[in-house]
Amino acid sequence: MKGYFGEFGGQYVPEVLVPPLLELEEAMAAYLTEPAFQGELADLLANYAGRPTPLTLCPRLSAELGFNLRLKREDLAHTGAHKINNTLGQALLAKKMGKIELVAETGAGQHGVATATAAARLGLKATIFMGEIDVERQKINVERMRLLGARVEPVKDGSKTLKDAINEALRHWLANQRTTHYCFGTAAGPHPFPTLVKGFQAIISQEAHDQYRDLLGRPPDLVVAAVGGGSNSIGAFAHFIPLQVALVGVEAAGTGEEGCYNSAPLNLGRLGVLHGQRSMLLQTPEGQVLPSHSISAGLDYPSVGPEHAYLHAIGRVKYGLAKDSEALEAFLTLSRAEGIIPALEPSHALAWVFNNRQEIAPGSEVMVCLSGRGDKDLDIVLANLGSLAAKTTTGLEAGKEIS
Amino acid sequence: MSARSRLTEAIKQANADKRPARVPFLTAGCPSPERFWACLKELDDNGADIIEIGVPFSDPVADGPVIAAASQQALEAGVSLEWILSGLATTRLSAPVVLMSYANPLIQYAWERATGVTLSQMVLASLRLLAQDFGSLVAGVIVPDVPLEESGPFQVAFDEAGVDLIVLVGPNTSSERMAKYALVARGYVYVVSVLGTTGARDEIPLEAKATLARARASFDLPLALGFGVKEPSQLAGLVRGPDAVIFGSALVKHLTEGGAAKDFMAPWLAAQ
């Protein structure tokens, strides 16, 4: 069926949203493979966003772990995360479609900032919907978006967080579809968004594939990435899916206590329909969507992109878990051992690698997608640092403790 | 197709009196779970030809602020699809009942009892169990986040039980799409007046006229106009108006503010 990955995906939207989704699908077919479009995007990615991003070996951690750990440095892309890959692509496509405004949702503000940035660069208006609670938690990002010329609309409905911001952005798009493009932030939502966003994020694994080829003449043995909605991970997996490469997505387990709120629909949810897609979903027995939780705002989402649900169902990708506390420890470990402050999202992927080090063959080549930089998370980390400072002394000892 | 749709008949009867059928919409549990059933009775006694009941959902993306808030309050008060069905079983209404529900509460209602090898089989099995529980309590269902492309299992399960799956079309639904919808539409056609969410508006937009005209040419079923309707005077400008009018947000607001259902219906009864 159209827009499905196995049994997941689809287009569960009001009828009045089907025509703009069809219009988007037609624009994708018309422009994405066109040399002029590809040339413009390649130029923006190289000369504006700073791509290709490096593949950085972690020498001290690798010596400690007994295998080579390399980071795909999306934290070094403009605005500090992989989000810019997607927003530049969608903004360019929106311009080709004759749209004058981008509407977007944002949780922590990273996608909002990336959308506002792309809109400013390409001369589009930007309206960003953000849950009222997130507006309060992420004041600096709100100011960044406003500085870039975007209008930030606090959302007061429901849980006042990311999922409610998506609802409101969809409502805005529904009413303003003739002039507006919905710049969706992750590889989820109604068809064709999972495919569109994956297409723009696949540059992560495309570059990594070539970097490994030039470096070692072969792909890595294992690629690990954190999974919220799933855009950095599907981008990091895309070009490795057909190859002999083990792939692990890491979901946020929350506090890890029995029955706690979490952001792990693949491990702990069941099939459901939300935000235009049929995928795995955290929900009550009656089908009401549960609030999600993660210390990392970027992973804090009750569902997951449909292609991940499919890759999980067929067993091509293994989906593990990392708790809030483990992500915090990994955050400290990488900062101290390698001089790289990671965002809390990829800290979950790092935590999984540290936790599972015994199962990774010595001498392996392991890539972690470092999807963003951690400056944005300092408040959260500092608020939790009291208990961690005692446990973590120096970098490498921290690595040992984690096992 | 079921031989006779109770919904089509109810609208035709109203039209035989030279008036559009009156279709009030009320979110379940509004204005409070205690008063809800009495309000339904009052609507039924005061000229409702069909009654639509909104099943609350945590993420009502097609709804404007009034119904979204009513939905959230209902959830906080513990209202569920099960609560609605058991209440309907003990409430005698002369107007046929239509449920308006987002896809997920419908799919999950009987999920634990459903069996199937694939997830798609599970979805269909679950919807079949739901349709059985509808029995004669529910004449039709509107699923605002299920367009034509995803409607397969809903059509199959509801058709088997003689429950109408009511389709929605909007100002941007092409005549080609309307023709495809015409093959599966049951009961009546819900014509969305605007590109927007539910909510009362002062005027029915001009584009609603054009949408009604195109729908008239595409469907053999009665047309019900919704999204933005609050009072009879709004229909004055329409040469051939809709066969039925659905009013939701204005009624929900009226009841939430302490008004009586009877008073809300009065101008519609006076307007004939």
ipTM: 0.95
Looking only at the bridges linking them, the beta strands covering B51-54 and A270-274 are unpaired
Query: Each residue of B112-135: pLDDT tens digit?
Result: 999 999 999 999 999 999 999 998
Tens of pLDDT, residue by residue over A182-235, are 999 999 999 999 999 999 999 999 999 999 999 999 999 999 999 999 999 999
Picking from A197, A219, A247, the residue at the C-terminal end of a domain is A197
pLDDT value at residue A257: 86
Confidence band of A43 (pLDDT split at 50, 70, 90): very high
Question: Are residue A206 and residue A192 in the same domain, yes or no?
Answer: no
How buried is residue A311: exposed, middle or buried, by Cβ count under 10 Å (0-12/13-18/19+)?
buried
Q: How many CB pairs under 8 A join A and B?
A: 126
Q: What's the domain count of chain A?
A: 2
State the smallest CA–CA distance between residue B64 and chain A in angstroms: 8
Q: Does A287 touch chain B (CB under 8 A)?
A: yes
Distance from CA of A230 to the nearest CA of B (A): 20
Domain's final residue, options A181, A197, A213: A197
Measured between CB atoms, which of B65, B104, B195 is closest to A272?
A: B104
Residue-level pLDDT at B1: 45
Asked if B61 reaches chain A (Cβ–Cβ under 8 Å), the answer is yes
Same domain for A63 and A172, yes or no, is no
Nearest CA in chain B to A162: B59
Yes or no: say if A192 and B149 are a contact pair by the CB < 8 Å rule: no
Query: Which candidate, A348, A350, A380, places its Cα nearest to that of A367?
Result: A350
C-alpha B128, offset from chain centre: 20
d(CA A87, CA A82): 9
pLDDT of residue A146 exceeding 50: yes
Question: Average pLDDT of chain A?
Answer: 94
Interface test mutation site (partner B, options A2, A8, A12, A281, max chain B beta carbons within 10 A):
A12
8 Å CB contact between A229 and A201: no
CB pair distance less than 8 Å for B61 and A170: yes
Q: Which of A143, A172, A197 represents a domain boundary (last residue)? A: A197
B68 to chain A: nearest residue by CA?
Answer: A157
Contacts of B104 in chain A (CB under 8 A): 272-274, 281, 283, 287-289
Q: What Rg, from alpha-carbon coordinates, does chain B have?
A: 17
Q: Are residues A361 and A216 in the same domain?
A: yes
Could you tell me the pTM of the whole model?
0.95
pLDDT digits (tens, 9 = 90+) for A90-111: 999 999 999 999 999 998 899 9
Interface contact flag, A163 B192, Cβ < 8 Å: no
Q: Which of residues 110-139 of B touch A (CB under 8 A)?
A: 111-112, 118-120, 122-123
A151 interfaces chain B, CB cutoff of 8 Å? no
CB contact under 8 A, B112 and A11: no
Q: Does A208 lie in the same domain as A190? A: no
Report the candidate in B40, B56, B138 with the shortest Cα–Cα distance to residue B91.
B40
Residue A77 CB contacts under 8 Å (≥ 6 apart), including other chains: A49, A50, A51, A53, A84, A85
Angle between helices B65-76 and B249-256 (to 10 degrees): 50
- At B270, is the secondary structure helix, strand, or coil? helix
Per the CB < 8 A criterion, the answer to whether A229 and A188 are in contact is yes
A279 touches chain B (CB under 8 A): no
Q: Pick B6-259's CATH classification: 3.30.420.140, 3.30.428.10, 3.20.20.70, 3.30.420.40.
A: 3.20.20.70
CA distances in angstroms from A174 to A268, B194, B206, listed in the order given: 32, 10, 18
Q: Is the pLDDT of residue B271 over 90?
A: no
Give me the domain span that covers residue A134: 4-47+83-197
Asked if A12 and A76 sit in the same domain, the reply is: no
Residue B93 has pLDDT above 50, yes or no: yes
User: What does the alpha-carbon distance between residue B225 and residue A149 come to, in Å, rounded to a whole number?
Assistant: 39
> If you average pLDDT over every residue of chain B, what do you get?
94
**Are A16 and B58 an interchain contact pair (Cβ–Cβ within 8 Å)?**
no
Cβ contacts (< 8 Å) between A192 and chain B: which residues?
none
Q: Which residues of A are catalytic?
A: 58, 82
Question: A32 and A146 share a domain?
Answer: yes
